[in-house]
A and B are shown apart, each in its own frame.
Chain A
Amino acid sequence: MSVLGTRVVRKEDPRLLRGEARYVADLDETDDPRLVGLAHVVFVRSTVAHATIAELDVAEALEAPGVIGVYTHADLDLEAPPVMGGMLGPDVVRPFLADGRVRYVGEPVAVVVAESVAEGVDAAELVFVDYDLLEPVIGVEAAVDADTLLFPAHGSNVVSGFGAEAPDDLFDGCDVVVRHRIVNQRLAPAPIEPRGCVAVWGGDDGVELTFWTSTQTAHGVRSTLADRFGLEHDAVRVIAPDVGGGFGGKMHLYPDELITAWVARRVGRPARWIETRSESMLGIHHGRDQVHELAIGGTRDGRVLAYHLEVLQDAGAYPDIGAFLPYFTRLMAQGTYDIARVSCRTRSVVTTTTPTAAYRGAGRPEAAAAIERAMDLFAAAVDLDPVKVRRRNLIPADAFPYTTQTGATYDCGNYPRALALAVEAAGYDDLRDEQARRRAAGDPVAMGIGVACYVEITAGPGAGEKEFARLTIDPDGSATVFTGSSAHGQGHATAWSMIVHDLTGIPMDRVEVVHGDTAKVEAGVGTYGSRSLQVGGSALHRATSHLVARGVEVAAKLLDVDEAEVALDTETGTFSAESVSGEAVGWDEVVRLSGEPFTEAHEFVTETPTYPFGAHIAVVEVDTETGQARLVRLVAVDDAGRILNPLIVEGQRHGGIAQGVAQALVEEVRYDADGNPQTANLADYGLISTMELPAAELVPMETPTPVNPLGAKGIGESGTIGATPAVQNAVVDAVAHLGVRHLDLPCTAERVWHALELARAEAG
């Protein structure tokens, strides 16, 4: 029996649970003898949202005890690169340290290097910065027309965009058209381990810079560092030790990290930077932050004919990938529905806030939230049940591959079935009956039921997504995987061992998985966007298959039979042939006798993205006196293609759902009108906890994709995509009978109470 599809317990967990993991902050000379006499890096950060720097004086800080050096932009001999590889022009380039002007609170202004962190923090307080305040630019709608420009040379706060305005005739022939402004709020990735890095210059083997960092993409960081310092890629070694989460926030090299490497070279000592939680909440790029104007039209009997989504994305102070994520929002705007006319225009604007970038879901949750709110608004307008309206409009199961109006080609799926499974598991009709009873009885605790269908894109946006894998089998019969996809909680060691075991029969505990070290793994892309298994796992699948073929060749010689006769028993890892029964050779013999290194590498290149999909149903209770919503149930159907390990997949779903529910109910990064961050710690930001989360009810569904050898799609982000609109719709549904039509995210108690007050006032 194949091990694939079984609940293999994660082999990487005992180490983590016993506290044996080594994070960047733990590293010392036991990890590398050069890590003695570390210098410590502390940043002076802007305390204001927008200003020119009238004076920057480091003299006093330089005299402080333990200070090795203090540097500002004037000291840097590094050239800032074009934005997103040149997708944006030179007018909006980000300097590594503020160059005479600051554009958000938390922006690095100067860097202090000291013998201890404490001395560094003390000295940083002595750096004198005189700011001439400029008007802050807060809020995307204000930013579009603001007189104050973040980059005057650029001539506008709008930096990028996709698509066009809705054509005039888009809604022709619609009986009903509903329009609404909705907000998809800004979130913080907030991984449990903040950012950090250690840089050491000099060493053997032609490696000039060794850089340990908490990252999702060791190879990408390696290339960026090499490019910035003008080094060959091989001259930089990047190591991601244990990484305590990323959620998209550790996908690329940040200025603070680059500066740490620069400083180490400048002072001629190994240097370490570890950010505090308060720095992290302003430093790790934020996610989401879109304002939508949506319009949806159709017939009175519930057929949707046209949909337009207008997206304003907050890119923060320096446009980065966040300015381009609306590409995904646009691509996925149509959701799971067969809609004849769809248009979507996106514009990204800069504001005086932390830059935005990918956060679990990255552009797709926003699309799902918009279309799912639109469906409910439309259902309410034509007075039909939200499930009925969705059923009427879902793309039929026989329509795949299906190309949407915004250009996505969905590979495979069965959306009506996903919804049907969710409806059945939730007991939807019974829930509606109970709701009706409670409403009739005037229960002050209102019950709400929310539905969301979703489809998302993984391993995209187009063809050509790559990942590298090498498998080596040693003469003792053990195997080592070198994967370019470096894990930070996803369970690669287990999943990759399962693939190797399934194809070779080598026991899982004899498979070592190596990742996150550019000196050991010759190529790689990384772990983000739910890509690892389908791209990196497929690469390993191919590399392993090639090695098995070679094993068969050698075994045929050893057994003195035709290759065609050789069978590999993938339970025991032995080769045999019927004509020589009784004889069998193991991998150890095969490798030993082959007389050459037994290793194969493969770079898997995708031909098309995959489109995971599902349906979520949430049940909430809303205290109509206080406005507080409580999630009671969450039923989730998530189809991510063939499942390699249900235990890992369920873990990803529970985690994603937790973050999705958090967006619906609790979390929000906030700024005041002056651009001061108001949620710069975990008390104010308020990550959701287990106490607010019922155990999600996970319904299995598997539709293997034909586009890769594993049949797998991505599962890492589905939870954040389906859960948010399901819960949001449920909260609105709970108070709909009291006159509330829409609630923005997050549906906090005060927001719900306020909407109820307004509805009561309107009802007179």
Chain B
Amino acid sequence: MIPASFDYVRADSAEAALAALAEHGDEAKLLAGGHSLVPLLKLRLAVPAVLVDIGRLEDLSYIRDAGDHLAVGALTRHRDLERSAVLAEHLPLLAHTAHLVGDPQVRNRGTIGGSLAHGDPASDLPAVALATRATMVITGPDGERTVAADDFFAGFLETAVQPDELLTEIRFPKATGAAWSYQKFVRRAQDWAIVGVAVQGGATPGVALVNMASTPVRAAAVEAALASGADAATAAEAAPDGAEPQPDLQASVAYREHLARVLTRRALTASALG
């Protein structure tokens, strides 16, 4: 429970963080809220030579109404998402889901950027990014690029963010007045989801699953069923299609698939979809 030794650099700007990454290459690791990285360090599952602390980049902590979309800074804490008036009005799914992450300590430290960049299939916010069709803004040595949520989650704990890059902003389409639902199935209130389902209503409803594959996944078969006019119960039957759930202590594959169907039906019904 003691990390291997590392050098520590505190970045006071995004540029400084990028410079440190450029200098140390893939020896370096960014540290945001630390609530995914620090446990890995303590178990020595991650042994970076340098930690670049971006936790104090206040200028990357914001939730803005940018006209046609909402811009959320990567360093915005879960707690700020939870309490944001802007989100409550235009994207309540994100605020509500952030409220279900871990416990208050976790929410006060963890950031949306860390949550997405970590790429954990068991995390809640990646499913929201998929269901809402968010766009990630990634800053690197050559400036900014944008990546659609669908192209962002590359593999188990792997995303489109390269070792010399920084996730700086997440852009969410506004969903003002649209129905939504997040169904999180947990053993205990503070736990990670055994299975979760995010549904965002609107012109093109989005459905995404938590813990149903090695990455956060879109429930494309459910969306297709809905598009072709299926009712909620029928569409939900397709939830496990294309997913590749893994067994663990909490759930077998069959149980996960069953939960995905039940939770998806509930989420669709709650959002009056299908």
Q: Which residues of A pack against B, CB within 8 Å?
A: 117-118, 121-122, 276-278, 625-626, 628, 666, 670, 678-679, 683-684, 686, 688-689, 691-692, 748-750, 753-754
Q: Beyond A117-B2, A276-B2, A626-B185: 7 further Cβ-contacts under 8 Å?
A: A122-B4, A628-B185, A683-B192, A686-B187, A686-B191, A689-B189, A748-B250
**Contact of B5 with A by CB under 8 A:** yes
**B45 CB contacts on chain A under 8 angstroms:** none
**A679 CB contacts on chain B under 8 angstroms:** 249
**A117 CB contacts on chain B under 8 angstroms:** 2
Contact A692–B189 (Cβ < 8 Å): yes
**Contact of B70 with A by CB under 8 A:** no
**B2 CB contacts on chain A under 8 angstroms:** 117-118, 121, 276
B189 to chain A minimum Cβ distance, whole angstroms, is 3
Task: List 30 A-B residue pairs with CB atoms under 8 Å apart, sorted by A's residue number.
Answer: A117-B2, A118-B5, A121-B2, A122-B5, A277-B1, A625-B262, A626-B262, A628-B185, A666-B187, A666-B188, A670-B249, A679-B249, A683-B191, A684-B249, A686-B187, A686-B191, A688-B188, A689-B188, A689-B189, A689-B190, A691-B189, A692-B188, A748-B187, A748-B250, A749-B187, A749-B194, A750-B250, A750-B251, A753-B258, A754-B255
Interface of B, helix, strand, loop or mixed by DSSP: loop
Closest B residue to A748 using CB positions: B187
What 4 pairs across the A-B complex have the smallest Cβ distances? Answer: A691-B189, A276-B1, A121-B2, A750-B255
**A691 CB contacts on chain B under 8 angstroms:** 188-190
Contact B5–A678 (Cβ < 8 Å): no
Closest A residue to B261 using CB positions: A625
**A750 CB contacts on chain B under 8 angstroms:** 250-252, 255
Closest B residue to A687 using CB positions: B188
B2 to chain A minimum Cβ distance, whole angstroms, is 5
**B5 CB contacts on chain A under 8 angstroms:** 118, 122
**A684 CB contacts on chain B under 8 angstroms:** 249
**B1 CB contacts on chain A under 8 angstroms:** 276-278
The A-contacting residues of B in range 56-83, CB under 8 angstroms, are none
**B255 CB contacts on chain A under 8 angstroms:** 750, 753-754
**1/0 contact trace for B230-254 toward A, CB 8 Å?**
0000000000000000000111100
A135 to chain B minimum Cβ distance, whole angstroms, is 23
CA distance A679 to B185 in the complex (A): 20
The A-contacting residues of B in range 205-257, CB under 8 angstroms, are 249-252, 255
**Contact of B259 with A by CB under 8 A:** yes
CA distance A688 to B4 in the complex (A): 32
**A754 CB contacts on chain B under 8 angstroms:** 255
Closest A residue to B251 using CB positions: A750
Contact A686–B188 (Cβ < 8 Å): yes
B103 to chain A minimum Cβ distance, whole angstroms, is 9
**B4 CB contacts on chain A under 8 angstroms:** 122
CA distance A118 to B44 in the complex (A): 12
CA distance A691 to B188 in the complex (A): 7
Closest B residue to A750 using CB positions: B255
State the interface size on chain B (CB cutoff 8 A). Answer: 21
Contact A678–B262 (Cβ < 8 Å): no
**A686 CB contacts on chain B under 8 angstroms:** 187-188, 191
A62 to chain B minimum Cβ distance, whole angstroms, is 19
**A689 CB contacts on chain B under 8 angstroms:** 188-190
**A278 CB contacts on chain B under 8 angstroms:** 1, 43
A112 to chain B minimum Cβ distance, whole angstroms, is 13
**A692 CB contacts on chain B under 8 angstroms:** 188-189
CA distance A628 to B4 in the complex (A): 40
A680 to chain B minimum Cβ distance, whole angstroms, is 10
B126 to chain A minimum Cβ distance, whole angstroms, is 19
B77 to chain A minimum Cβ distance, whole angstroms, is 21
Closest B residue to A628 using CB positions: B185
**B190 CB contacts on chain A under 8 angstroms:** 689, 691
The A-contacting residues of B in range 1-24, CB under 8 angstroms, are 1-2, 4-5
CA distance A208 to B121 in the complex (A): 56
CA distance A283 to B227 in the complex (A): 55
Closest B residue to A692 using CB positions: B188
Most buried by A among B192, B252, B255: B255
CA distance A121 to B259 in the complex (A): 42
CA distance A684 to B252 in the complex (A): 15
**B252 CB contacts on chain A under 8 angstroms:** 750
A240 to chain B minimum Cβ distance, whole angstroms, is 24
Contact A678:B258 (CB < 8 A) given known A689-B189, A691-B190: no
CA distance A625 to B260 in the complex (A): 11
A42 to chain B minimum Cβ distance, whole angstroms, is 9
CA distance A666 to B4 in the complex (A): 33
Closest B residue to A670 using CB positions: B249
CA distance A329 to B61 in the complex (A): 58
Contact B259–A678 (Cβ < 8 Å): no
Contact A626–B259 (Cβ < 8 Å): yes
CA distance A686 to B187 in the complex (A): 8
**A748 CB contacts on chain B under 8 angstroms:** 187, 250
CA distance A628 to B263 in the complex (A): 13
Closest B residue to A678 using CB positions: B249
Closest A residue to B252 using CB positions: A750
**A753 CB contacts on chain B under 8 angstroms:** 255, 258
CA distance A670 to B249 in the complex (A): 9
CA distance A612 to B213 in the complex (A): 51
Closest A residue to B191 using CB positions: A686
**B187 CB contacts on chain A under 8 angstroms:** 666, 686, 748-749
Closest A residue to B185 using CB positions: A626
**B194 CB contacts on chain A under 8 angstroms:** 749
Closest B residue to A277 using CB positions: B1
CA distance A748 to B262 in the complex (A): 17
CA distance A691 to B190 in the complex (A): 8
A24 to chain B minimum Cβ distance, whole angstroms, is 16
**1/0 contact trace for B10-42 toward A, CB 8 Å?**
000000000000000000000000000000000
B4 to chain A minimum Cβ distance, whole angstroms, is 7
CA distance A230 to B252 in the complex (A): 54
B42 to chain A minimum Cβ distance, whole angstroms, is 9
Most buried by A among B185, B249, B252: B249
Closest A residue to B262 using CB positions: A625
**A121 CB contacts on chain B under 8 angstroms:** 2
The A-contacting residues of B in range 82-101, CB under 8 angstroms, are none
A41 to chain B minimum Cβ distance, whole angstroms, is 14
A748 to chain B minimum Cβ distance, whole angstroms, is 7
The A-contacting residues of B in range 181-209, CB under 8 angstroms, are 185, 187-192, 194
A283 to chain B minimum Cβ distance, whole angstroms, is 13
CA distance A683 to B103 in the complex (A): 12
CA distance A121 to B1 in the complex (A): 9
A106 to chain B minimum Cβ distance, whole angstroms, is 14
B39 to chain A minimum Cβ distance, whole angstroms, is 8
**A688 CB contacts on chain B under 8 angstroms:** 188
Most buried by A among B2, B185, B189: B2
